[in-house]
Structure 1
């Protein structure tokens, strides 16, 4: 398995014969308004450009995986690029109708898709009313028979459901957002650094931390995160890639991957309608 971190949550994930572009935010630096609404520090996003050579790397992509529709995970430039290349988009049932309206070839990402075990794992993008307003978000467990298993938490705070999935599925690699995003009202909407420490301690394998230094409402820095993980004795389990960096992982054993459990996948409803208008998606 190869994980090439591009920027924020945008990742090239190579699993067997698949080369998946995850959560493509492909806009130029400063292309859309800041997300920090209160408390100062608002700046146009993204804060940084894509790494040089990104679009040449993307020519080998075989499909796109979208965890949710927020603009830092799928922006207008990302949608345009997907349409131009005629690529299939793998997403949840709740997002599929809206994505199809935008001209994308959408397929539901469910168990057996892409020739691998798949489970979607509900996440909370914050807490309380703000979490509801930001909409339904899910992570994904992907287990290709010839590759390490991976759990993409998507945008999340630490919940019992996330920890239960880690314990039950024993993912070889976890990819988690580490920016501790906060819009200035309603608290953190991503894992706090303390929550990341708990997640890394509970992880059976390696943890790749992304969603850093690319958006105005994400205050956590790579250097600060490394120092905290070092102080906790966890740095050896953690990867904090620079933009453009590629990581390689091998299967630690030949035992069968844990099987996902079946979950009822819901279509869009009131929450999707509200969150789409709030986030401009």
Structure 2
């Protein structure tokens, strides 16, 4: 498995024969509005450019995986790039109908999709009313038969559902957002640094931390995060990649991956309808 971190949550994930572009935010610096609405520090996003070779690397993409529709995970530039390339887009049952309306070749992600074991894991993008307004979000567990398993938590705070999935599925690699995003009201809408410490402690393997130093409402820095993980004795389990850096992971053994729960994934409902308008998606 290869993880090419591009910027924020945008990643080129290689699993077997698949090269999946995850959460494409492809805008030029400053093309999106600021997300820090209160407390000062609001600036146009993204704060940094994509690595210079990004679009050459994306020529190898065989599909797109969207964890949710917020503009820092699928922006207009990303949408237009997908439309131009005509690539298949994989998304949850909640997001698939809205993505189809945008003219994309959308496929619902579920167990057996892409020729691998898949589980959709509920997540909470914040707490309280703000979490509800941020909309329904899910993480993805992907277990290709010849590759390490990976759990993309998507944008989330630490919940019992996340920790239960880690314990039950024993993912070889977890990819988690680490920016501690906060819009200035309502508290953090991503894992706090304390929550990341708990997640890394509970993780059976590597944890890759992204969603850093690219958006105005994400105050956590790579250096600060490394220092905290070092102080907790956890740095050896963590990767905090620079933009453009590629990570390689080998499967630790050939034992069967844990099987995902079948579960019943609800389709889009009233919350999705409301939050699609609240977030501009």
Output the TM-score relative to the length of structure 2: 1.00
Mapped partners of 2:160, 2:268: distance in 1 = 24
The aligned counterpart of 1:143 is 143
Mapped partners of 1:21, 1:32: distance in 2 = 20
Mapped partners of 2:15, 2:239: distance in 1 = 18
The aligned counterpart of 1:73 is 73
The aligned counterpart of 2:273 is 273
The aligned counterpart of 2:168 is 168
Q: CA deviation at 1:130?
A: 0.3
Q: CA deviation at 1:269?
A: 1.1
The aligned counterpart of 1:242 is 242
Equivalent residue runs for 1:1-281 within 5 Å = 1-281=1-281
**CA deviation vs aligned residue, 1:22-57 (integer Å, no higher than 9, x gap):** 000000010011000000000000000000110000
Mapped partners of 2:65, 2:277: distance in 1 = 22
Q: CA deviation at 1:263?
A: 1.6
Q: CA deviation at 1:139?
A: 0.3
Mapped partners of 1:252, 1:106: distance in 2 = 33
Equivalences, count: 281
Q: CA deviation at 1:97?
A: 1.1
Q: Secondary structure at the match of 2:21?
A: strand
Q: CA deviation at 1:268?
A: 1.2
Q: Secondary structure at the match of 2:27?
A: coil
- Over the aligned positions, Cα root-mean-square deviation in angstroms equals 0.4
Which structure 2 segments of 5+ residues have no match?
none
Mapped partners of 2:46, 2:274: distance in 1 = 24
Q: CA deviation at 1:266?
A: 1.4
Mapped partners of 2:248, 2:72: distance in 1 = 25
**CA deviation vs aligned residue, 1:190-210 (integer Å, no higher than 9, x gap):** 000000000000000000000
Mapped partners of 1:185, 1:31: distance in 2 = 24
**CA deviation vs aligned residue, 1:248-268 (integer Å, no higher than 9, x gap):** 000000100000001211111
Q: Secondary structure at the match of 1:29?
A: coil
Mapped partners of 2:268, 2:165: distance in 1 = 24
**CA deviation vs aligned residue, 1:103-162 (integer Å, no higher than 9, x gap):** 100000000000000000000000000000000000000000000000000000000000
Output the TM-score relative to the length of structure 1: 1.00
Q: CA deviation at 1:221?
A: 0.1
Mapped partners of 1:109, 1:176: distance in 2 = 19
Mapped partners of 1:267, 1:167: distance in 2 = 26
**CA deviation vs aligned residue, 1:142-186 (integer Å, no higher than 9, x gap):** 000000000000000000000000000000000000000000000
Mapped partners of 2:5, 2:203: distance in 1 = 20
Mapped partners of 1:71, 1:248: distance in 2 = 28
Which structure 1 segments of 5+ residues have no match?
none
Mapped partners of 2:32, 2:141: distance in 1 = 31
